[in-house]
Amino acid sequence: MTNTVRISGSLRNRLMITLISGSAILGIILFFIVRGYATQIAQDGQDNILKASLSSILDAATIQDGLVEVDFPYASLSMLDTDLDDRVFYAIYQDGILLSGYKGLPAPSSLTGETRTFQTIKYKGTFARVANANRILVGERGRIEISVSVAQTQDDLSRTLNSISKNVAVFGAGFFILVAALSYLATSTTINPLMRLAASIKKRGPKDLSPFEKEIPSEMVPLVSSLNRLMGRLDLSLKQSEDFIAEAAHRVRTPLATVRSYADATLQRVSKSENREALRSMVRAIDEASRAASQLLDHAMITFRTDHLQKEYIDLIDLVQDLALRLSPIAEMKDVKILVNHKNPVEIHGDFILIQNAIRNLIDNALKYSPNEAIIKISVGSEPTPYLKIHDEGPGFPPDDIQNLTLRFTRGKNANGIIGSGLGLTIAKDVANAHNGRLEIFNHKKGGACAILSF
């Protein structure tokens, strides 16, 4: 019974995706924050050097004989040397007019007092950081404003930032991988109880509809309690339908019994042979129907029960002798003798009802196929494993399809005239399999059918 289940994503995947995408976003945010911070620090570093350079140039400004002289030290530009040999530009203005240095650098707006500004500009085809500052010199001819711009390209800064970015990216990726691994673990841990629940339900036999009683996380309580309620209802309806089947069987059997009894009684009074034959046919049909119903019910019961064995220790000899006694009235009708042969006690661990049913079916078969005044030999032993052997004096199994006889509804070709449903051997075999045992059927060398049920 496989119903297609409609699948809409996976809980595990959804959880994983949420956690992983969350960590990815966190990683990216982390990357940008750290990178931003690093940029600011690196920029501050560059600005500080530019500021120092600027100050050393401004400090060198003097008025000599009424003329401005800026004899700035070698170190003013030397300090701007970097590993990647960044380009350096500078300009010196006197009252806004370029005195020396590069043209086109942003001149600081004329301000009173000394101020410093930093900005990033595009200059000579590249980005450069510019620091501006000015200073007032007072000479004989009045106030002179000296302003200086010092600029430096950002190659080294970019390289530093790139290397930081790379490291941060590696760190971020590592963080991401770690979080992803943790997500996987967390997801597995979260999903596990669900998997265990599923596995434990899967393991159950079809008749096991008892509520799920293991401890579960609180989030699963609604699921499990509805599952339990569903199973409760299922259990109830299954029991009801079983009762219904039994009831139906009962309802059918009673009228059948009436008809059969009347037929039986009528036969005693009828002597015309065609009437007698009709009555006998009727009786056979009824017997066939009732036996088939019995075995079908038995087979269904066995199928359910093999999934859920109720094992106990069984004295096999006791069981066989009791069955032989129960069946002796029928055996006597044909003057058939059932001999039970045994030596030592034989005990097996199994489901009593199933094993009794299997053996009963085997003895029934032997009885049905035995000729009048025959003997059915049953031997019970425990070597090498517990076994039961039934040997009759009947015609034996048809050699051609001996392998198929244990299949459902397969009857021997010599079964004509003998009432049966073809389920007897199937039931015996199913029971044997459920107990890790086996059923062997073969024809005895000296004639007659032989069946060995071993556990």
Contact between 101 and other proteins per CB under 8 A: yes
Contact partners, residue 206, CB within 8 Å, separation at least 6: 304, 307
Quote the CA–CA distance of 142 and 256 in Å, as a whole number: 139
CB under 8 A: which stretch of 105-113, 123-131, 230-238, 342-350 binds other proteins? 123-131
Burial of 268 (0-12, 13-18, 19+ CB in 10 A): exposed
Among 70, 157, 434, 451, binds other proteins (CB under 8 A): 70
Contact partners, residue 46, CB within 8 Å, separation at least 6: 129, 152, 154, 157
State in angstroms the smallest separation of the CB of 307 from other proteins.
16
Among 134, 160, 165, 356, binds other proteins (CB under 8 A): 356
Of 38, 34, 75, 21, whose CA–CA distance to 53 is shortest? 75
Q: How many CB atoms lie within 10 A of CB 327?
A: 18
State in angstroms the smallest separation of the CB of 238 from other proteins.
15
* Six-digit token string for 102: 């590069």
420 close to 435: Cβ distance less than 8 angstroms: no
> Distance between terminal CA atoms of the chain?
31
| 245-to-12, 69, 301, 346, 358 alpha-carbon distances in Å | 44, 120, 12, 36, 22
State in angstroms the smallest separation of the CB of 52 from other proteins.
14
| CB closer to other proteins out of 71 and 383 | 71
Residues 329-348 interacting with other proteins (rule: CB under 8 A): 329-330, 332-335
Contact between 283 and other proteins per CB under 8 A: yes
Quote the CA–CA distance of 328 and 334 in Å, as a whole number: 10
* Six-digit token string for 369: 């196929």
Among 124, 166, 229, 343, binds other proteins (CB under 8 A): 124
The DSSP secondary-structure symbol of 407 reads: S
Among 14, 239, 326, 343, binds other proteins (CB under 8 A): 326
CB under 8 A: which stretch of 8-16, 92-100, 137-145, 186-194 binds other proteins? 92-100
Contact between 80 and other proteins per CB under 8 A: yes
Contact between 30 and other proteins per CB under 8 A: no
CB under 8 A: which stretch of 18-26, 124-132, 206-214, 386-394 binds other proteins? 124-132
* Interaction pattern, residues 424-453, with other proteins; x per rule: CB under 8 A: ------------------------------
State in angstroms the smallest separation of the CB of 261 from other proteins.
3
| CB closer to other proteins out of 197 and 238 | 238
Residues 398-417 interacting with other proteins (rule: CB under 8 A): 417
Backbone phi and psi for residue 376, each to the nearest 5 degrees, phi listed first: -110, 120
CB under 8 A: which stretch of 39-47, 71-79, 136-144, 401-409 binds other proteins? 71-79
CB under 8 A: which stretch of 6-14, 188-196, 261-269, 375-383 binds other proteins? 261-269
CB under 8 A: which stretch of 198-206, 213-221, 247-255, 395-403 binds other proteins? 247-255
3-state helix, strand, coil in the chain (%, to 5): 55, 20, 25
Quote the CA–CA distance of 197 and 226 in Å, as a whole number: 13
Contact between 260 and other proteins per CB under 8 A: yes
Backbone phi and psi for residue 393, each to the nearest 5 degrees, phi listed first: -110, 25
How many residues bind other proteins, per CB under 8 A?
Answer: 74
Contact between 244 and other proteins per CB under 8 A: no
Q: Could you list the beta-strand ranges (E) of 310-446.
A: 311-315, 337-342, 347-351, 375-381, 387-391, 438-443
The DSSP secondary-structure symbol of 429 reads: H
State in angstroms the smallest separation of the CB of 16 from other proteins.
46
Among 6, 202, 203, 250, binds other proteins (CB under 8 A): 250
The DSSP secondary-structure symbol of 211 reads: P
Contact partners, residue 77, CB within 8 Å, separation at least 6: 53, 88, 90
| CB closer to other proteins out of 186 and 364 | 364
| CB closer to other proteins out of 219 and 243 | 243
Residues 364-383 interacting with other proteins (rule: CB under 8 A): 372-373
State in angstroms the smallest separation of the CB of 12 from other proteins.
45
| CB closer to other proteins out of 131 and 286 | 286
Among 39, 190, 228, 294, binds other proteins (CB under 8 A): 294
Contact between 261 and other proteins per CB under 8 A: yes
Number of H helices, E strands in the chain: 8, 14
